Structure 1
Amino acid sequence: MKLKYTSIILSGTLLLLLASCKKELVKVNVNPNATQNPQPDYLLTGVIKNMADTYWGVEDNMGSSLLFVQNWSKIQYTDPDRYIFTNASFQGLWTTAYTKGVINLNQIIKLADAQANPNYKGVALVLRSWVFTLLTDQYGDVPYKQSINIDQYLTPAYDAQRDVYFALLDDLKAAQSSLDPSGKAILGDAIYSGNIASWKKFANSLRLRIALRIADREPDKAKQVLADIQAEGSGYISSNSEIAQLVYVDSPNQNPISNLFDTRDDYRISKTIVDQLFALNDPRLPVYATPTQDATPQTYVGVPNGLLVGDASSLGLTKTSKPGAYFRAPHAPAVIISYAEVLFDQAEAVARGFIAGNAADFYNQAVTASLQQYGIGNTAISTYINSAAVKYDASNYKKSIGNQKWIALFGQGLEAFAEWRRLDYPQLQPAVAGTLNGKIPVRFIYPGTEQSLNGASYKAAVANQGADVLTTKLWFDVN
């Protein structure tokens, strides 16, 4: 009997010790640098900075999409310019979007509800919609529904691209209902400094972008979205002063392009766009390109995309043009949606019969806005938009808008890549020594981590969408 009681006492003591150890382990495993009560303003600033860095940075902009659309080119280490990638090459956008974008934006939405501040919720929904647009534009089918409840779904299913776009349009409509210029103030807004009226215009401009993304597949839905925007009444981004962008500051928070050029010199402006700017006598050429270090007959010399390493090197670092100083400046902005883009979109919406108006007028305003964005004067603008090669061609709106939009989106690799696939202009030639049998990439491949960590969902997505290769067309890419 004594032995029995002794065993009970020892067991109780062990349980108490284990409970105590568990409490101590919990304390030990708390990150002392992490706040236990996250604040929406700090989360908001962090999301904007992390996503802008990714959108405007090396891996998904300079090192891939800007090469695909032949804005930039490589003069050293040319494999990416020849479409040579691994399944780790496109990890950055995926990881940042989900772990530093979606998760933190979901947290802002929860905090907004708890603090009864719907403006935080509206802003978070707009940004989350932009993040998911970047994801589906590049990869196609992506986790959406289950990824916004990641605590419940550690291996989220992928949603079809059509369903993702439709869900984002619903989210943006909900964002408009939440955003109230006369409501509670928000802090931490590095884009519009808490101006909620501007966020409402940003939301509508993003709705317009997505409506056109689906227009070739779902024209009735696209037209209805634009009618809803018209009825809502907040309008679109309506001047260059309202561009949705993050303006960078000094190091270590400078523009990521500036940061790269501080230590590397392996990127040049593409010969494709230099030749086009010369052909149009485009006044943006001195903005987009830097004069060669050594004197050359043309002053601005682009590098053909996708040269072999030796052929690229033989052109000479000092006899080829870097991208313009404007884009390499520490404070250069990361543009999310420009006024020019919104005007081009409205021109296309008129041309498609989705809205009333004059497509040529919107087109001319778009070209003008792009030129003014870079400080081009009125006389040069008038000469340019009245030149025969620039005038709007109503018989082929995709050509006119596609070519000029491609120029206007210079530097915005991910958006330019999506629009080039959708509009099929300009008609680009594949990389000189490309490895895709005469084709240009039309999507990003999924990160290899998805195959190992979310294998069943990954396989289902591939079965639905097609082979996980650079040449598989996405749902929105019709032609």
Structure 2
Amino acid sequence: MKFRYLNILTVAFLLFTTSSCKKELAETNINPNTAQVAQPDYLLTAASKITADAYWGADNNFNSSLLLVQHWAKIQYTEPDRYIFSNSSFVSLWNTGYSQSITNLNTIIKLADAQGNSNYKGVALVLRSWVFQLLTDAYGDIPYKQAGNIDQYLTPAYDTQKDVYFGLLDDLKTAQAALDPAGKALAGDVIYAGKIALWKKLANSLRLRIALRIADREPEKSKQVLAEIAAQGSGYISSNSEIAQLGYFDSPNQNPISAWFETRDDFRISKTLTDKLVQLNDPRLAVFASKTQATTPTGYVGIPNGLTTGDANNLGFSKTSKPGTYIIASRAPAVIISYAEVLFDRAEAAARGLTGENAADLYTQAIRASFAQYSVADYDISAYLGQPATQFDAANYKKSIGEQKWIALYGQGLEAFAEWRRLDFPKLAPAVAGVLNNQLPVRFIYPGTEQSLNKENYKNAVANQGADVLTTKLWFDAY
């Protein structure tokens, strides 16, 4: 299975590289001995792997969003932890999302229509919706309707964030209808191994996530979407065994975090997270952080976010805690959406009055699911839930859910960053030596290439959304 997976990735890369050439070159240099039509299974593997790597890798995760949401901190080269970014700092998510992930997924959709395999189309729509969601969560207004079709739209127009979210809800509804467990089989699926019923659950789980993204702005639309999901009947991700994630192998095909730590030592667990876990007697501390190499009074020592390099170095490399061995293991999965997150989402939907479920019960289930995800013992879970500080507060559900969800989303920087902005919990302090006048970043800035290659559409987006700076709040971030 491992070698087949690697072979698929190699062929998919070659297919993608070939499809990226200019049309004239492709027409001139045709090899009569090779297939000229891309195969959807190879493209599906490639799109899944490429996107997961970008989602879990340095530029978009541990060197940006994991710092912004204060899961991790930097002990050297601390500029990103102080919010010192340029318009080249956030190129990876944009370029990977548009030129690779969405392009491949659009090709799969066309091939699926031509070959009459609606399951490939449904899966590609689900993954494409996730990619677009990552992009709009980070940047705000983005190209959506005209994206990924360079032959027709060389300089695609930007759509408003509201229109993007509404469009994604429609796309996921279309995907749900296209996915048929009794339909044609598909190959190349490295997330759910071709189990279409689980893709249907993932589609609904992403619809739930987006419905809550817009809930502060469009509560009636959110309620309508959740009613449609309930009526459709496929349900949501319903156990830890159904978590949507991409698995990795040993080096050199390991988790991007593991690859980084093979040669680098510039990240530590954040003091913000460490202090919260200690305050709550949370046994996940031993999962999320490593004990200090040198003997310290507590064994776990986080560092404040946004120190200067000199001040961070002075805390001592051996006297501060690296991230835990679980997350830096070579085979640690890249989680797209967890069972715990879905339960927290359902709890919030109930607390908002969007469904008739029991918010407090779902909140408790969510915490239990998070503990179980990391193999924490049952007796630890019961003790944890018995504390006053972990009780569900219906009058302030955003605080209860926001703080616990922030912990449960550990390692998923982009998603944790989006949820922290939306729920406004936990309350985070700006970086110690931050450069934003005591403010916190609330978005990624657009890549500088958009200003030069798509200038007019970029200018229109800025005029609609606000200045292209880290502190401009996005449409979904209502409060």
TM-score (norm 1): 0.94
**Aligned with 1:318: secondary structure?**
coil
Match of 1:413 in 2: 413
Query: What code does the residue aligned with 1:266 have?
Result: D
Match of 2:443 in 1: 443
User: Contact 2:99–2:148 (CA<8 Å) still a contact in 1?
Assistant: no
Match of 1:163 in 2: 163
**Aligned with 1:208: secondary structure?**
helix
Question: Could you list the per-position Cα deviations for residues 413-437 of structure 1 after superposition, in whole angstroms to 9, with x for gaps in the alignment?
Answer: 0000000000000000000000000
1:207 aligns with 2:204: no
**Aligned with 1:321: secondary structure?**
coil
Question: Could you list the per-position Cα deviations for residues 8-56 of structure 1 after superposition, in whole angstroms to 9, with x for gaps in the alignment?
Answer: xxxxxxxxxxxxxxx9976765699996221000000000000000000
Partners of 2:329 and 2:202 in 1: how far apart?
25
1:336 aligns with 2:359: no
Match of 1:288 in 2: 288
CA positional deviation for 1:378:
0.8
Partners of 2:33 and 2:285 in 1: how far apart?
47
Match of 2:458 in 1: 458
Partners of 1:363 and 1:274 in 2: how far apart?
22
Match of 1:472 in 2: 472
Match of 2:118 in 1: 118
1:149 aligns with 2:152: no
**Aligned with 1:268: secondary structure?**
strand
Query: What code does the residue aligned with 2:334 have?
Result: A
CA positional deviation for 1:130:
0.2
Match of 1:137 in 2: 137
Question: Could you list the per-position Cα deviations for residues 413-467 of structure 1 after superposition, in whole angstroms to 9, with x for gaps in the alignment?
Answer: 0000000000000000000000000011000000000001100100000000000
Query: What code does the residue aligned with 2:422 have?
Result: R
CA positional deviation for 1:148:
3.9
Match of 2:224 in 1: 224
Match of 2:55 in 1: 55
Question: Could you list the per-position Cα deviations for residues 81-131 of structure 1 after superposition, in whole angstroms to 9, with x for gaps in the alignment?
Answer: 000011100000000000111110000001101111000000000000000
Partners of 2:372 and 2:26 in 1: how far apart?
57
Partners of 1:35 and 1:315 in 2: how far apart?
58
Shift of the 438–449 alpha-carbon distance from structure 1 to 2, 3 Å rule, reads same
Query: What code does the residue aligned with 2:345 have?
Result: D
**Aligned with 1:306: secondary structure?**
coil
Match of 2:42 in 1: 42
The aligned length equals 457
Match of 1:94 in 2: 94
**Aligned with 1:457: secondary structure?**
helix
CA positional deviation for 1:385:
1.0
Query: What code does the residue aligned with 2:428 have?
Result: L
Partners of 2:460 and 2:385 in 1: how far apart?
49
Q: How many percent identity over aligned positions?
A: 71
**Which range moves more in the overlay, 147-156 or 428-437?**
147-156
Match of 1:320 in 2: 320
User: Contact 2:237–2:243 (CA<8 Å) still a contact in 1?
Assistant: yes
* Runs (5+) with no aligned partner, structure 2: 1-22
Partners of 1:442 and 1:116 in 2: how far apart?
43
Match of 1:305 in 2: 305
Query: What code does the residue aligned with 2:462 have?
Result: V
CA RMSD in angstroms comes to 1.5
User: Contact 2:98–2:148 (CA<8 Å) still a contact in 1?
Assistant: no
Query: What code does the residue aligned with 1:248 have?
Result: Y
CA positional deviation for 1:149:
2.9
Match of 2:380 in 1: 380
Query: What code does the residue aligned with 1:268 have?
Result: R
Query: What code does the residue aligned with 2:305 have?
Result: N
Question: Could you list the per-position Cα deviations for residues 390-429 of structure 1 after superposition, in whole angstroms to 9, with x for gaps in the alignment?
Answer: 0111110000000000000000000000000000000000
Question: Could you list the per-position Cα deviations for residues 172-219 of structure 1 after superposition, in whole angstroms to 9, with x for gaps in the alignment?
Answer: 000011000010000000000000000000000000000000000000
Shift of the 448–24 alpha-carbon distance from structure 1 to 2, 3 Å rule, reads closer
Query: What code does the residue aligned with 1:246 have?
Result: L
Question: Could you list the per-position Cα deviations for residues 300-326 of structure 1 after superposition, in whole angstroms to 9, with x for gaps in the alignment?
Answer: 000100000100000111111000000
Query: What code does the residue aligned with 1:459 have?
Result: K
TM-score (norm 2): 0.94
Larger radius of gyration: 1
1:364 aligns with 2:339: no
Query: What code does the residue aligned with 2:202 have?
Result: F
Shift of the 24–48 alpha-carbon distance from structure 1 to 2, 3 Å rule, reads closer
Shift of the 397–34 alpha-carbon distance from structure 1 to 2, 3 Å rule, reads farther
1:182 aligns with 2:182: yes
Shift of the 201–76 alpha-carbon distance from structure 1 to 2, 3 Å rule, reads same
**Aligned with 2:143: secondary structure?**
coil
Q: Which runs of 4+ in 1 moved over 4 A?
A: 23-35
Query: What code does the residue aligned with 2:433 have?
Result: A
Partners of 1:241 and 1:24 in 2: how far apart?
47
**Aligned with 1:263: secondary structure?**
coil
**Which range moves more in the overlay, 245-254 or 456-465?**
245-254
Query: What code does the residue aligned with 2:184 have?
Result: K
Match of 1:395 in 2: 395
Partners of 1:29 and 1:39 in 2: how far apart?
20
**Aligned with 1:335: secondary structure?**
strand
User: Contact 2:363–2:401 (CA<8 Å) still a contact in 1?
Assistant: yes
CA positional deviation for 1:61:
0.3
**Aligned with 1:245: secondary structure?**
strand
How is 1:228-307 mapped onto 2 (pairs within 5 angstroms)? 228-307=228-307
Shift of the 56–26 alpha-carbon distance from structure 1 to 2, 3 Å rule, reads closer
Match of 1:83 in 2: 83
Shift of the 406–34 alpha-carbon distance from structure 1 to 2, 3 Å rule, reads farther
Match of 1:15 in 2: none
User: Contact 2:289–2:321 (CA<8 Å) still a contact in 1?
Assistant: yes
Partners of 1:36 and 1:144 in 2: how far apart?
28
Partners of 1:158 and 1:300 in 2: how far apart?
46
Query: What code does the residue aligned with 1:260 have?
Result: W
CA positional deviation for 1:151:
1.7
Query: What code does the residue aligned with 2:415 have?
Result: E
CA positional deviation for 1:253:
1.7
CA positional deviation for 1:150:
2.7
Partners of 2:179 and 2:307 in 1: how far apart?
49
Question: Could you list the per-position Cα deviations for residues 348-381 of structure 1 after superposition, in whole angstroms to 9, with x for gaps in the alignment?
Answer: 0000000001110000000000000000111111
Match of 1:432 in 2: 432
* Runs (5+) with no aligned partner, structure 1: 1-22
Shift of the 333–31 alpha-carbon distance from structure 1 to 2, 3 Å rule, reads farther
Query: What code does the residue aligned with 1:82 have?
Result: R
**Aligned with 1:108: secondary structure?**
helix
